[in-house]
Amino acid sequence: MTAQTDTPAPVTTVYQVTGMSCGHCEGSVSAEISEIAGVSSVKAVASTGEVTVVSEAPLDDEAVRAAVDEAGFELAGRA
């Protein structure tokens, strides 16, 4: 018999971030967003400005905005 858990499915959200131009930018944005509680992975792509975030539950957009701002960039919204 296997134990079944009620683990919610991960939530994937894609954000648009302006100002990223290199790998260092991607790393800065990823590191800041990774600090938000519940975030399990972040992939930032400077060439498109897209940041894909996987989390346990939907994130507060203002928390994401604050993290992106802390990294020195601007959150344009959801892609």
Q: Which two tokens stand for residue 25?
A: 């930018």
pLDDT digits (tens, 9 = 90+) for 31-54: 999 999 999 999 999 999 999 999
Q: How is domain 15-78 classified at the architecture level of CATH?
A: 2-Layer Sandwich (3.30)
pLDDT digits (tens, 9 = 90+) for 2-28: 556 667 799 999 999 999 999 999 999
pLDDT score at 75: 98
For the beta sheet containing 39-45, the strands, ordered from the edge strand earlier in sequence to the opposite edge, are: 39-45, 50-55, 11-18, 74-78
The reported pTM is 0.89
